[in-house]
Copies of this chain bind each other. A is one copy, B any other.
């Protein structure tokens, strides 16, 4: 019985999401190195094995350590944190570890302290402007490549980009534009360095581009992560339909305020995170209520959304006509705005059949 906020996973939807991207990768001849930061679960990662995946992406060395229990080829898609050299050495001894590098200092540091060989991706900024080397900064790229060549324990793997600016899109067409531009930049880089490095990999990452585009010609590897569950943010971007969202939070109703058409749930920022979307119709929202349906959940209930979150409280806006359909002690099922953050907070997934999947 559910008594407190509980994160549910619809395994069927999740496996369908995995199958969708795996099929696309296969069809396009792409290596599929899914990002595990959304599910952070060895159990969920097994479903990727079932579709032929044998390598992962993670966002921290801690996450790499966790997955290295069962996976032997892991890329850490985060700028290398030299302070964690002990963990890097431990992992590099055990598995094929690939790190992302974007500056000379890190290569110098690895040169002095690395004890086992590993792969290096140069992180390229294809327009997101968060991390990475500007795609046309050939001077820096050449300096770094020269430094890598000089060190026996470093193997240059290729160029890795995350077109995170696709998160600003609000349509499939806009996502396609970001993808094509990002792809074009990376392919120019590939062309330039292909002779020198015939095996170099061009690795692209984000869920919107990988969900929407059907054109990955010239790309070698994709690394999306969020698609495993999707969420309201990806839906508003244009990546997925609402019925592809594979996680929902069940939250007890603890108070009702019919005078202002609000229900208060046990379920707050420590469950959903404070991530928000600015919905064109409903304004700033933190989640959407769905109908409970059989072994899963159904459509979104119109005009029923999380309008604010405190630490443990959530305030749900409810249409006047239906507020009396809900009672204290009932559960509301709510799609999260950002499934990665909600999962990270909840630390486990439940299924309606009573199974529990553990996380990192």
- Which residues of A approach B to under 8 Å, CB–CB? 1-4, 37, 59-60, 62, 78-84, 86-87, 102-103, 105-106, 109, 129-131, 134, 164, 252, 254-257, 259-260, 264, 266, 269-270, 273-276, 308, 310-313, 315, 327-329, 340-341, 344-345
Contacts and interface: CB of A to CB of B under 8 A. Distances in A.
Number of copies of this kind of chain in the complex: 2
B79 A329 contact: no
Decide if the interface of chain A is mainly helix, strand, loop or mixed.
mixed
Given A131-B264, A131-B313, A62 B103 contact: no
Nearest to A128: B310
The CB with the most chain B CB atoms within 10 A, among A60, A84, A312, A341, is that of: A312
A274 B313 contact: no
Contact of A102 (B60, B81, B255, B311): B255
Contacts of A86: 3
A343 to B, nearest CB: 10
A60 B129 CA distance: 41
Nearest to A341: B269
B312 A59 contact: yes
A327 B60 CA distance: 20
Contact of A254 (B4, B62, B80, B252): B80
Interface core residue of A83, A327, A341 (most chain B CB under 10 Å): A83
Contact of A106 (B78, B79, B328, B344): B328
A327 B105 contact: yes
Contacts of A254: 78-81, 131
Contacts of A312: 37, 59-60, 78
A4 B130 contact: no
A329 B341 CA distance: 26
B59 A311 contact: yes
A3 B274 contact: no
Contact of A256 (B103, B270, B341): B103
A103 B269 contact: no
A273 B266 contact: no
A23 to B, nearest CB: 27
22 contacts: A1-B83, A3-B87, A4-B62, A59-B312, A78-B254, A78-B266, A78-B312, A81-B252, A82-B252, A82-B329, A103-B328, A106-B328, A109-B328, A109-B329, A129-B260, A130-B308, A131-B264, A274-B274, A274-B275, A274-B341, A311-B341, A345-B345
A337 B37 CA distance: 24
B274 A328 contact: no
A103 B259 CA distance: 14
A4 B273 contact: no
Given A62-B4, A103-B256, A311 B340 contact: yes
Contacts of A82: 252, 328-329
A259 B105 CA distance: 17
Nearest to A101: B255
A83 B270 contact: no
A273 B264 contact: no
A273 B3 CA distance: 25
A60 B266 CA distance: 9
A327 B227 CA distance: 35
Contacts of A103: 255-256, 328
Contacts of A259: 134
Contact of A83 (B84, B109, B252): B252
Contacts of A60: 4, 266, 312
